[in-house]
Structure 1
Amino acid sequence: MKLNIPLHLKPYIITQETSAYTPEDHAVWRFTLRQLTAFLKTHAHPFYLEGLRKTGITVEKIPSISNINQALQKIGWQACPVSGFIPPSVFMELQSYSILPIAAEIRSVEHILYTPSPDIIHEAAGHAPFLACSDYSAYLKSYAGVAKKALLSWEDLNLYEKIRDLSDLKERKDSTEKQIQKAELALKQAGEKLSFTSEAAYLGRMNWWTAEYALFGDINKPTVLGAGLLSSILESEDCLKPAVKKIPLSIDCINYNYDITKPQPQLFVAKDFKNLHNTLNEFSKTLACNVGGDYALNKAQSSKLVNTIELNSGLQISGKLTNSINCKTTGLAESNHSAIFFKLEGPTQLAYKNKELKGHSKNYHATGYSTPLGTVKNIDLAKASSKELKELNIKVGQKVLLAFDSNIQLTGTITDLLFKGSQLLLISFENCCVKYKEQILFDPTWGAFDLAVGTKIVSVFSGPADTATYNVDVKTQPQCIAKAKPSIEQQNRFLLYEELQHIRQSFLQKNTVTKNIDALFAKIKNQKLHWLVLLELYELSVWSNSPVQSDVLSLLKHLELNTHDSRCLKRGLNTV
């Protein structure tokens, strides 16, 4: 599977080991898909079943993500395998490249009704089908493009890791109650320590209440649309009951938090696809990437992560913002409020139109970057004519004093002028001193100085401008959910599933398997059998009109089951 994926996203991509799926894993897939399709054919958005067909997803076995990728390529998308709950920002960035990340793991038989951790059922049977719907696909691409630019915070990453740890523990069979309680406490404490809600967190909520958990259509009789609902036997049914509050979708959905490990107490209903687009567009207008100015700069400083500041000249400066000075401290007119100086720490990249400027990589600006902004003698250097630049003595080799109207003064000798076409982006100096009143902002002993040309900040967005050359560090290490070694009992169960699968294939090809079913039942009827093994046997006995079907049904009805397994069996019998 060849995918054009940015370098910083590649650590999250894994290889789907189809041979690692156990016979029970395939039985879990069959059971879940059978229940979902039986219910959703009348309760999901009408496109659902068509979407399953178009993406090549069948009930019989766990799909190859490579095959899903081939099917999606026909409709302008791709698919790649990942492990479990990857960072939401990574999920969205992959989607912005029209790539659907699909978790390669599959839920355990103990969590058939609802899994706290993303799996192949959630992504393949939940997200993939609606990518073939042009209206919904357009919404997802728009959303991913917006989410890619939304500002994250370091607190978001910490919270994500705690959510991931808890969801993984809840899915693992060998987790202890003590481990789960410890992870729940860690998540609670991380949530309590959040000092603010980032743009990415707000957009994460919007994604949750739309792409993951949206209902669609008439609020009094909605259909299921969100992937989280489409892939959960429990929630796909329960979500339509009166106990779950239904709210018309609006921008207010961002004010509702959610718990990934529990069913949701309320859901939002999108009237139509236009409703989805309008809600997204309304919120995107409030983002730093679209607002700019001090508002955006303050959000970047709170983020404490690498972001990109774009000036009105088109120059893009990517790094961790640590400090800024704005006009409120200069006594300038209220209408002129904007940053007049800012400083970034650590590796900083300078770029134009998302391409790194030659000689201005993060290695060159390894210890940080700072620059004043604003007009000089009421001249915007970003728009200055060659005549105005000459009047200001701005030419290579000239020693100059640039007196900014903000009271910042710069003295130094110009060593280079960097243009892109006719657009001046940078003025480089040696022996440069930058002062604001009595404060030294840049000292000549610190080396060369590169003045960013611009008077205002038009946008601030997440991550570096040129990710390919910046080589973003992986913020959170990807990890796979380790499978516990199967017990002897499980291994014996796997053999039964395997035998049932052979009988199933024989039936599908020849439409007659009665003798095989009768013989298998005679061999195992006195054993302690798992409900899913018996259910598969019962299904085959009904299909082939075997005389043992009543005996198998009797065994099923006399099983002693917990609440989860009892609910599963009841649903299974209803669809045989």
Structure 2
Amino acid sequence: MSQQDIINSLPAHLRPFVKVQDYSDYTPRDQAVWRFIMKHLTGQLEKTAHPVYLDGLARTGIALDHIPSIEEMNACLTQLGWRAVVVDGFIPPAIFMEFQALKVLVIALDMRSVYNVFYTPAPDIVHESAGHAPFIVDIDYAEFLQRFGAVGMKAIATREDLEQYEAIRKLSILKECPDSSSDEIASGEAELERLAQSEQPPSEAALLTRLHWWTVEYGLVGDPDDYHIFGAGLLSSLGESRHCLNDEAVRKVPLTVDAVNTAYDITREQPQLFVTKSCKHLSQVLEEFAASMCFKRGGAESLRTAIDAASMCTATYDSGMQVSGVFCEVLCDAVGNATYLRTSGPTQLAYRDQEIIGHGVAWHSEGFGSPIGHIKDFSRCLSEYTIDELAAHNIAIGKPVRLEYLSGITVEGTLDKVFRQDHRNLILTFSDCSVQDLHGRILFDPAWGTYDLAVGSSIPSVYGGVADRTALQLYKPTPHTETIRVEHDVQLMACYALVENVRRAEKNSSDPDIQDALTAALEAYPEEWLLRAEMLTVASKALHERLVDELRSLGETHDALQELTALAINPEYAFAKSA
């Protein structure tokens, strides 16, 4: 299946986030970075990663000697019931979760730069493919990942969460680009720090992100004293995949739902990690947290959570009616039951996740309000009555109607329409309508126009986002923060390509002209450590000795290169941070 076929198979609102991988955009040096990382990662992880890891790499189309193409990955993933698409860096968390719920792996398009081999501030293809894909071959884990996406889609995010996402995305792009100025980076860091200082308690979305971090990204499996690595953040990091094994520096804590109380800092190595017993255990912890979320609990408390979030959320009536908007008020009776809800600004009415025709944000542009509860003298929810039964209660189209709710709210006006679906009354539309609460407060005045009443006796679910994502798209790609492309040194890339051709035996390594070309490349680029690391596998004995000397010298004169050059010379090198 081609990239375009997979893009076309996605829901329309997700397609704008997907890019097309042009494999020719990866430079020979990008390929060298991939090889260096994967060679040493797989060597380190052979015994420390969960046994599924190495098998999973091969079964999901991820080779060690070249950056995977999305076609290679999809040829394998489709056999497992999954697909993959490429995106530009960070995408909104809710969108990421929706892809995951659809069994679509989101793969960052870019390759980390040679300056960020140990740690990349932005998502890259190493982390997203070699980190996340391998465990898809484990059915229990794949089901956990999909369920996590389905739960994550429902999490209520605050307005501050969305601002923080934008700030993180912008800063990650600046840090990954070598042309960014120190002032630009400092400004981005200051903005993120400002947002992080919020005194508001973490939202559902923020807490769920923590659980994702401590499991999917940085999880260990086994027991605190006998564990293996399965988290993608660890599997894709040369430094942390080794550092995490240091039990003195990194505490190992049994995984419980309490992990959501532990914040994390993406800029530093983690001081503790959580250990799950199994994939089943992962799913149990996820469901324990999900049970606490508003989409499971509903009611007035969940509506108040949506109000505090000040973001677009959805309330679902027991009739199936869905109201999506920015909630601003909920009225309650003496025992805490929600009796009336209200939104401000554009609002969508939907049923079974499909916008009801004529009830989108164009019609409900200034907000929406409707009662919740049972009608006096009605034994069932009003939604369950047939048209004939309604008429027997003096509720008929074209006639004056008065509805008295148990809460004391009254709706009085001329019934113009009844919208029904699946044998249910979902919306009653009134003209010349007034709505008042028990204390005489005017909730709707006839002068305000047509009144649409959502039918339902309770709110069993409240969740983040909108019901019909196709009709109302909340999250849009942010082109003003697209990844910054840099110009590459054509001659340097030719040097890397030459080494690759020798490695693939397309060029004869013993050819004096080739040896001269390799030597010339070294002299032209005396600071290029990775070029020397690449040459080690193809150089003659004499050149090999020179490469080792030059790598050792680069490590001695450049602190930032000390561990990289040591690892290039000796794959068994033990990082100082894990000593």
TM-score interval w.r.t. the shorter chain? Answer: over 0.9
Note if contact 2:152-2:205 (Cα within 8 Å) is conserved in structure 1: yes
Contact 1:312 1:382 (C-alpha < 8 Å) held by counterparts: no
Structure 2 Cα separation of the partners of residues 473 and 28 of structure 1: 33
More displaced stretch, 522-531 vs 449-458:
522-531
CA contact (8 A) 1:86 1:478 kept: no
What amino acid maps onto 2:510 in structure 1? T
Q: Which amino acid aligns with 1:441?
A: L
Residue 529 of structure 1 and its aligned partner are, at CA, apart by 4.5
Task: Describe the SS at the equivalent of 1:59.
Answer: coil
**Equivalent residue number for residue 278 of structure 1:** 284
TM-score by length of 1: 0.93
C-alpha RMSD over aligned residues: 2.0
Number of equivalent positions: 560
Aligned counterpart for 1:248 among listed residues 254, 268, 276: 254
Q: Secondary structure at the match of 1:349?
A: strand
Cα contact 1:401–1:410 (8 A) shared by 2: yes
Say if 2:374 and 2:405, in contact at 8 Å, map to a contact too.
yes
Give the 3-state SS of the residue equivalent to 1:313 in structure 2: coil
Matched-pair contact (CA < 8 Å) for 1:433–1:444:
yes
Partners of 1:135 and 1:273 within 8 A in 2: yes
Q: Does 1:70 align with 2:75?
A: yes
1:555: Cα distance to partner? 2.9
Match of 2:456 among 434, 454, 457: 454
Q: CA shift at 1:521, angstroms?
A: 4.2
Contact 2:429 2:452 in 1 (8 A): yes
My pick for the range that moved more, 238-247 or 66-75, is: 66-75
1:326 aligns with 2:364: no
User: Counterpart of 1:212?
Assistant: 217
Check the 8 A contact 1:106/1:121 in 2, yes or no: yes
Q: How far, CA to CA, are the matches of 2:487 and 2:123 in structure 1?
A: 21
Shift in alpha-carbon separation, 1:227–1:401, aligned structure 2, 3 A:
same
**Greater alpha carbon shift after TM alignment, 85-94 vs 467-476:** 467-476
Aligned equivalent of 1:90: 95
State the TM-score, normalizing by the size of structure 2.
Answer: 0.92
CA distance in 2 between counterparts of 1:491 and 1:358 reads 56
Partner of 2:393: 392
Shift of 1:125: 0.8
Quick one: distance in 2 between partners of 1:461 and 1:300?
Answer: 8
Residue type at the aligned position of 1:549 = H
Where does residue 554 of structure 1 map in the other structure?
549
Q: Which residue is equivalent to 2:347?
A: 348
SS at match of 2:471: helix
Letter paired with 2:493: F
1:301/1:323 contact within 8 Å kept: yes
Equivalent in the alignment of 1:307: 313
Answer whether contact 1:320 1:344 (CA < 8 A) is retained.
yes
Partners of 2:91 and 2:477 within 8 A in 1:
no
5+ residue gaps, structure 1: 329-333
Q: Does 1:56 align with 2:56?
A: no
Structure 2: stretches of 5+ with no match in the other structure: 573-579
Could you say what secondary structure the match of 2:343 adopts? Answer: strand
Q: CA deviation at 1:444?
A: 1.0
Distance 2:236 2:519 in 1: 36
Name the SS of the counterpart of 1:100 in structure 2: strand
What is the aligned partner in structure 1 of residue 484 from structure 2? 482
Cross-structure match for 1:25: 30
**Distance change >3 Å, CA 101–CA 366, structure 1 → 2:** same
* Aligned ranges 1:254-273 → 2 under 5 Å: 254-273=260-279
Query: What's the counterpart of residue 422 of structure 2?
Result: 421
Range 529-538 or range 139-148, more displaced: 529-538
Equivalent residue, structure 2, for 1:569: 565
Moved more, 406-415 or 189-198: 189-198
User: 1-side partners of 2:563 and 2:475: how far apart?
Assistant: 45
Give a deviation string over 1:500-553, Cα, whole Å, max 9, x none: 01111116xx9x633366344444454525111111111223xxx645323332
Structure 1 vs Structure 2: percent identity of aligned residues? 38
One-letter amino acid of the counterpart of residue 364, structure 1:
W
**Greater CA drift, 421-430 or 109-118:** 421-430
Tell me the distance in 2 between the aligned counterparts of 1:470 and 1:529. 52
Q: Structure 1 pair 478/146, CA: closer, same or farther in 2 (3 Å)?
A: farther
Deviation at residue 161 of structure 1 after TM alignment: 1.5
CA contact (8 A) 1:306 1:318 kept: yes
2:81 aligned partner, one-letter code: G
* 1:389 to partner: Cα distance: 2.8
1:340–1:476 distance in 2 versus 1, CA, 3 Å:
farther
Structure 1 residues 561 and 89: CA distance shift in structure 2, 3 A: farther
Contact 1:116–1:262 at 8 Å: present in 2 too?
no
Matching of residues 463-502 of structure 1 within 5 Å:
463-472=465-474, 474=476, 479-486=481-488, 490-502=489-501
Alignment match, 2:577? none
